[in-house]
Chains A and B, each alone.
Chain A
Amino acid sequence: MDYRLSHLQQLEAEAIYVIREAAAQFKRPAMLFSGGKDSITMAWLARKAFWPAKLPFPLLHVDTGHNFPETIEYRDQFVADIGARLIVSYVQDSIDSGRVVEEKGYNKSRNGLQSVTLLDAIESNKFDACLGGGRRDEEKARAKERFFSHRDEFGQWDPKNQRPELWDLFNGRMHPGENFRVFPISNWTELDVWMYIRQENIPLPNLYFSHKRRVVDREGVLLAETPFISLVSGESYEERTIRFRTIGDATCTGAIESDSADIDAIIEEISASRITERGGRADDKRSESAMEDRKKQGYF
């Protein structure tokens, strides 16, 4: 027998190890679930990690209210299929209670406000760790994330003072009020996620596959027509053949023009693509260190 594992088998074994470690080390963990492919993959791995038992923690969705209806439909079906418990926290509640103030201007987004809602959800549910689908290849600030990433009592990340992480020994110890973010698929790339989805035959929201949709081209980012976007002069919607490469808040998730209608076509497209996945994210274009700044504030 050849005692070798493919790269996907190795990544899977690592992710399952990290997920089990989080369940073992923390008293009240939760798994962040957005309905995007990364959190779907992570939840799929969690189901494998604890089989034949169910997930020993709930899924937590921070809902900006600016969703594609397909995402919510998918979310509810997926959660029912794997028998998980779902907790939804609404950014709208944070706005209504005056915890946050909605951004103004034509390019406003609720993406940044999610951090406050997330931190509130962590506090009210007394979660001590949140598992997230962040990957190190996504963005340069994320390249330095630990598997077990410490957050202080304000939910902040201190990138210059991270705990060293050696071998597969994770230190999840903390003081009261602090918490952790745990990233089981840290070492996966976008292509790994897609290859795994194909291997496992994981169902996905149809937003990921090519379809016709009315979009507006805003500074090079194609934004879908939704009630949450207001056009400014000179802008107009037009129908194009697109798909989404990432799925997040509808006001800042850019579509790409694509004919890729199935997973094989998507894998081929990504392999040949010369633009990174987050190249279509308006939230990252705000500045050179946009992600690092948001992460310090408690972003995912």
Chain B
Amino acid sequence: MMDLLRFSTAGSVDDGKSTLIGRLLYDTKSIFEDQLEAIERTSRDRGDDYLDLALLTDGLRAEREQGITIDVAYRYFATPRRKFILADTPGHIQYTRNMVTGASTVNLAIVLVDARSGIVEQTRRHSFIASLLQIKHLVVAINKMDLVDYSEDVFNKLVEEYTAFSSKLNVPDIRYVPLSALRGDNVAERSERMPWYQGPSLLYILESVHVGNDYNFVDSRFPVQYVIRPQSETHRDYRGYSGRVAGGVFKPGDEVLVLPSGFTSKIRSIDSFEGPVAEAFPPMSVTMTLEDEIDISRGDMIVKRDNQTKVSQDIDLMVCWMNEKPLQPNGKYLLRHTSREVKCIVKDVRYKVDINTLHRFENDKALGLNDIGRIQIRTSSPLLCDPYVRNRNTGSLILIDEFTNETVAAGMIL
């Protein structure tokens, strides 16, 4: 069975990110002749004497003109074992929000380190964002090994340095690969130029890393997304609750509780177009029917009777601020959490985090664009939630400006 890996890269001009992506696409035969022709033409027109693989990954005109990556771009490639979705994000501090956006949906992050400059501010920032967003697998790609004579000593020192730093992180699986994206060493194939490295190539890690347990299969969570009522001849009284399983495993016959009303019932059936479903688990999209007629609508959550979510109006969370207009102390915002939309008011800013050093500033509480901090809010009606570390689906939320309708913050519930 071919499965799917979502992963991210973060990086800025000159650290070799574009070359690495270009190399991955090239080595998996994902670059097409007409794409190559188009970038050859553009490189030539600009007077470059080399083929600029960054043109493949920088999509928008402004980016091409300025030579920078300003947004998340998604790339797709596949090997016979896996399909890959790559969220390619910029690495500068002013694009922290883009990194957070890219990191929010992935299983694995690649942190690029230039072997010559070692662990720098940007390395720490990317790693911290990956940890904050609960990415469970991190690959530290020590790049440009060709420029340090493929030295084992350089590699070992960097691994040691990063290992010391990463004790502050909350990432269970960290691996290190020495590579040269430019020359293809250890990207798709093991390199002969680094015989001292016994580990797998980067692509092999991407193909084989086990991500099956990244979902929460313990706490059963089913946010009701849409109520299906055909009112047709054949399904006159059908009332199905459709949604995507956000945690745990549901089976027909399970005793369930509907939040926030507190009504209890049993699952009568789990339906799909193909027929009845024996077990529903994340991230399946299904439709449930219950034994009892109870009033359930979008925004409600179906859980197992013996395993409930937190139900609370007072929420502590980490936020990444995403808008030019800074967070307003005591400001009111719209809040989207699972299929629920409520209002909230900011009660307190606890601290701001320096994302380069992880230092907490309890005296600086101004959260502006790209800032990350801990806040406390009160919502107009209860959220049915779990801590983000326990469940990414029921632990995440966004804040929306009521007047501009823009998404202004990403929140992770503590």
Contact = CB atoms under 8 A, between A and B. Distances in A.
Interface of A: 1, 3-7, 9-14, 16-17, 20-21, 23-24, 47-54, 136-137, 140-141, 143-144, 159-160, 162-169, 171, 173-175, 186-187, 189, 191-192, 273-276, 279, 288-289, 292
A187 B74 contact: yes
Scoring B229, B298, B397, B407 by chain A CB atoms within 10 A of each residue's CB, the highest score goes to B407
25 contacts: A3-B281, A6-B1, A7-B83, A10-B4, A11-B4, A14-B283, A47-B273, A50-B226, A51-B272, A53-B231, A53-B235, A54-B230, A137-B75, A140-B56, A144-B73, A144-B74, A165-B407, A166-B396, A166-B410, A173-B400, A175-B405, A189-B76, A275-B33, A288-B64, A292-B59
Contact of B73 (A4, A12, A143, A171): A143
Contacts of B97: 164
A16 to B, nearest CB: 4
B207 to A, nearest CB: 13
Contacts of B243: 20
The DSSP consensus for interface residues of chain B is mixed
A3 B283 CA distance: 10
A142 to B, nearest CB: 8
Contact of B398 (A6, A20, A47, A169): A169
Contacts of B235: 52-53
A5 B283 contact: yes
Nearest to A172: B405
Scoring B70, B105, B271, B337 by chain A CB atoms within 10 A of each residue's CB, the highest score goes to B105
Given A1-B279, A162-B71, A288 B38 contact: yes
Contact of A23 (B59, B226, B284, B397): B226
Given A24-B225, A160-B70, A164-B322, A173 B334 contact: yes
A65 B73 CA distance: 35
B69 to A, nearest CB: 10
Contacts of A137: 74-76
A52 B232 contact: yes
B31 to A, nearest CB: 9
A159 B60 contact: yes
B285 A52 contact: no
Contact of B407 (A4, A143, A163, A187): A163
A124 to B, nearest CB: 24
Chain B: interface size category? 35 or more
Contacts of A273: 32
Given A16-B285, A137-B76, A53 B229 contact: yes
A143 B336 contact: no
Contacts of B231: 53
Contacts of B249: 3
- Give the 8 A-B residue pairs with the shortest CB-CB distance, closest first: A140-B59, A53-B230, A48-B273, A16-B285, A279-B34, A173-B405, A7-B4, A166-B104
A169 B336 contact: yes
Given A3-B249, A24-B225, A143-B59, A171 B405 contact: yes
A6 B83 CA distance: 10
Nearest to B227: A24
Given A187-B85, A273-B32, A13 B244 contact: yes
Interface string B22-55: 0000000000111100100010000000000000
Contacts of A9: 284
Given A7-B4, A24-B339, A276-B32, A13 B284 contact: yes
B392 interface: yes
Contacts of B215: 3
Contacts of A289: 61, 64
Contacts of A4: 1, 3, 212
Given A143-B59, A187-B74, A187-B85, A6 B229 contact: no
